[in-house]
Structure 1
Amino acid sequence: MRRDVGEAVRNTLLAGLTLLAGCAGTVKAPYPPIRADTSPAALERGAAIFHASCESCHRGGDAETASGAPLRELPSYMGSFHAANLTAHPKAGIGSLTDEELARAIRYAVSRDGRLMVMPSYGMGDSDLAAVLGFMRSGHPLFTPEAQPAPRSEFSFFGGLGFRVITGNEPIERPVSGIPVPAKAATLEYGRYMAHDVYDCASCHTDGFSPRKTEGDDVYSGGMAFIDPAGDKVRSSNITFHETGLAHWTLEDFTRAVRDGLAPDGSALRSPMPRFRGMDDVEARALYDFLRSVPAKDNEVKGARPRLTATSVRPTWVATGAATETAPEAGADVDPETASTVAEAAALSHQEPSGAVGTQAATGGTASTSASPAETSGAVGTSSTSAPTVRAAPQRKPRPAEPKVDAPKLFVQLGCASCHAPGARYHDRLARASSRSDAELVRWVRNPEQFLPGTPMPTYADLIDERTARALVRWVKAGGPASLPPTR
């Protein structure tokens, strides 16, 4: 009897190991005959898609290149997973891979050695896929060769069994080539294409791991579990236009959220939601209208926010940028970019930047200020002995006082504390701030994507003006975040 029980257990384990081995075995998937497109338009398109859909997984938080990173977003019970090294290194990266091999990995989620990978497979059209390949071959700094290979992904015993059952260990069925890209326009067709095949909103915002889950009734209703950088479980939001989802979100709310990473209440979107920096207004409109066309689903996802009502009011601490820009004091040390911004803002408001009005002698040219008839009456046709016209010195407007900013409160409200408070993932990075100028840090706070296009940091330019950002920066440089309570 005992022998029979032992035999049964052994056979069961062998069967499970066989299934697990099958999960790790090779699969059949075709090689799309797609070649990299390196034309200027394709490189721009490929960069936008890569930064939005690929970079967050393949570039670690402290890395300068897409050399791979741990996929901590996946539950640990499934195993240990690591995104591939996509740099141009011939051995550790993709330098020796053909375009067809890369196209197969993207379209079917099948690795070079023929194994099904735990990554989304993208049904993007041939020209978009060629654009992504072109960007990956472009020599961009993201792909600077990195000789350290990414660790191999490994399933746990039960994770492998579950993955095989769910996927059938078969890649998703798609045409090997000939997939069109819809005409770019604010249409439902184009919006659906972006949501399903380029940005992959459908997979992340639908619960489960089945590759066919986006064909079901629960698509876009949220609930899929991820692990955030702090190690906490978060679930994707319901992005249908139900009261438990995006009802009452305006197009402006939606665009700022997906492009800049900021929710309507001004808080940062939760990780691992990427920022679609390259999304233009046409794409935003198409995606917004498409999601509004999806049947609304009643699914209250715990922790998802914010919940808006028809009478929701945006917080009063949210400011608008250009309207409150001010010129620096004369003689102040201002970098050219900041000076340009000030001049543009002044021109838009029909004001002259402070310190820009000079005398003719000082500039060596003609004064740009128009003279009155009385001032010019003796300027032409009079003798050289005429007394020169004396103009009153321009009255300089007093410089507006720096805004009163509750920096600790703003630091928390903007979501900075979740990444930079003591104990948070990027707290140590603030030490670098002391060596940088206020002007540089202000630009980084307001538009971090100009320094690092794929950064998960939100874009705050529409919410805080330069003076407010400067007050926040000075508080950070003075060590203010160290006074906040730890995040854990």
Structure 2
Amino acid sequence: MKRKGLYFTTSLLAAFIVLFSCKTTHEVKDIETKTSQQKNDIEHGKKIVSIACGPCHLDQSTNTFSGSHLIDAPPVLGQLYASSLTKNAENEVNKYTDGQLKYLLRTGIKKDGKMAPFMQKPNMSDEDLNAIITFLRSDDPMVQANDVHNPRTKYSAIGNMVIGSQKPLKYPETTIFSPNKNDKVAYGKYLIDIIGCYDCHSANIMKTDKLNPEKSKGYMGGGTKMLSADGSKIVTSNLTFHETGLANYTVQDFGRAVRQGINKENKVLRYPMRMFTDLNDDDIEAIYTYLKTVPPINNPDKNPKSKKKD
């Protein structure tokens, strides 16, 4: 009887994995998109790509958007690679129309109707989405064809099950406008949203709320378990203004940590934290101002002590 029960359970689990691995396809739409080749629009798009897409898609060895191996992703999902955004003919980004690319970034639906949930930016303004596409279609050196060729992502059975179970987001019916930069709280909240800070710096990266990030469990309180560059486990930091988080940080301390990767104790922040050098002083002040409004969470640092910078 025990063997039959075990066989039944194993078979049922296998059936579920197969079911979810067979990814459902969704309707694909080609959205009207306004792009330009004005220098200011290209530069604006470059900044948005750098802060919102760069953490995954930037190849630091070439300083191009040639993609990278996502070694911080949970191994149980498989071998994950961020795709190249350069103009190599074989790259997927070049097989999309502007409208299909915009639809992907809003909903997570690829041109083949399958899901790419890590790509969803549902609250990004239309202005910034159009600027991203303008930059990707430009002649900027960071997106020109090159000799970098990364492997394709290979999901495990569990990875396929996770991806196959994800639901697309609804494409908005009205235009989404960029917030007024003079409203520091609104603009700071917006930056945290489009950069995706909350994905890593909340309680569980797999259970964040893309449409309403502030409703994510443990929002900005850290605690997500990830992998550092050497494969060791790392827990993300608390970015709320609790004494276990940023309570003792000045805006200058915060800016140094975000842009240079060095914390208040003069210690180097470890991967997967990236350095956001494209954020200017106004951006840093806005994020800092908004974080001061987020309910503080008591979540002490659980990581081994890192080395001080010489």
**TM bucket normalised to smaller:** 0.7 to 0.9
TM-score w.r.t. structure 2 length?
0.87
Aligned ranges 1:350-389 → 2 under 5 Å: none
Aligned ranges 1:88-487 → 2 under 5 Å: 88-117=87-116, 119-122=118-121, 123-146=123-146, 150-164=150-164, 168-175=165-172, 178-196=175-193, 198-208=194-204, 209-212=206-209, 214=213, 215-303=215-303, 413-414=308-309
What residue ranges of structure 2 are gaps of 5+ in the alignment?
A: none
Classify 1:7/1:232 alpha carbon distance in 2 versus 1 (closer, same or farther; 3 Å): closer
Q: CA RMSD in A?
A: 2.8
SS at match of 1:203: helix
Structure 2: distance between partners of 1:3 and 1:240: 51
Pairwise CA distance, 1:276: 2.1
Q: How many pairs were matched up? A: 305
Paired residue type of 2:196 = D
Structure 1: distance between partners of 2:198 and 2:129: 19
Kept in 1: contact 2:202–2:216 (CA 8 A):
no
Kept in 2: contact 1:52–1:275 (CA 8 A):
no
Larger radius of gyration: 1
Deviations 1:31-54 (A, max 9, x none): 443333332222222111222222
Deviations 1:281-312 (A, max 9, x none): 22222111110000100111312879xxxxxx
Higher relative contact order (CA 8 A, sep 6+): 2
SS at match of 1:25: coil
Structure 2: distance between partners of 1:29 and 1:219: 32
Paired residue type of 1:106 = L
Paired residue type of 1:221 = G
Kept in 2: contact 1:92–1:146 (CA 8 A):
no
Structure 1: distance between partners of 2:135 and 2:12: 48
Structure 1: distance between partners of 2:25 and 2:296: 40
Structure 2: distance between partners of 1:265 and 1:32: 48
Structure 2: distance between partners of 1:283 and 1:130: 20
Aligned ranges 1:43-62 → 2 under 5 Å: 43-62=42-61
Pairwise CA distance, 1:149: 5.2
Structure 2: distance between partners of 1:205 and 1:130: 27
Structure 2: distance between partners of 1:272 and 1:230: 10
Kept in 2: contact 1:80–1:154 (CA 8 A):
yes
Paired residue type of 2:17 = L
Kept in 1: contact 2:203–2:217 (CA 8 A):
no
- In percent, how many aligned pairs have the same letter? 29
Deviations 1:61-96 (A, max 9, x none): 433532222111101112111111211122235333
Structure 1: distance between partners of 2:15 and 2:84: 34
Deviations 1:347-369 (A, max 9, x none): xxxxxxxxxxxxxxxxxxxxxxx
What residue ranges of structure 1 are gaps of 5+ in the alignment?
A: 307-411, 416-488
Kept in 1: contact 2:227–2:233 (CA 8 A):
yes
Pairwise CA distance, 1:8: 2.6
Counterpart position of 1:65 = 64
Kept in 2: contact 1:205–1:219 (CA 8 A):
yes
Paired residue type of 2:184 = T
Classify 1:293/1:211 alpha carbon distance in 2 versus 1 (closer, same or farther; 3 Å): closer
Classify 1:257/1:218 alpha carbon distance in 2 versus 1 (closer, same or farther; 3 Å): same
TM-score w.r.t. structure 1 length?
0.57
Kept in 2: contact 1:127–1:181 (CA 8 A):
yes
Counterpart position of 1:439 = none
Deviations 1:149-204 (A, max 9, x none): 5433232223333455xxx42123451651111112242111111111x2111112
Kept in 1: contact 2:207–2:216 (CA 8 A):
no
Counterpart position of 1:12 = 12
Deviating runs (4+, > 3 A) in structure 1? 1-7, 27-32, 146-150, 159-164
Structure 2: distance between partners of 1:135 and 1:305: 40
Classify 1:304/1:192 alpha carbon distance in 2 versus 1 (closer, same or farther; 3 Å): farther
Paired residue type of 1:218 = G
Kept in 1: contact 2:21–2:157 (CA 8 A):
no
Paired residue type of 2:175 = G
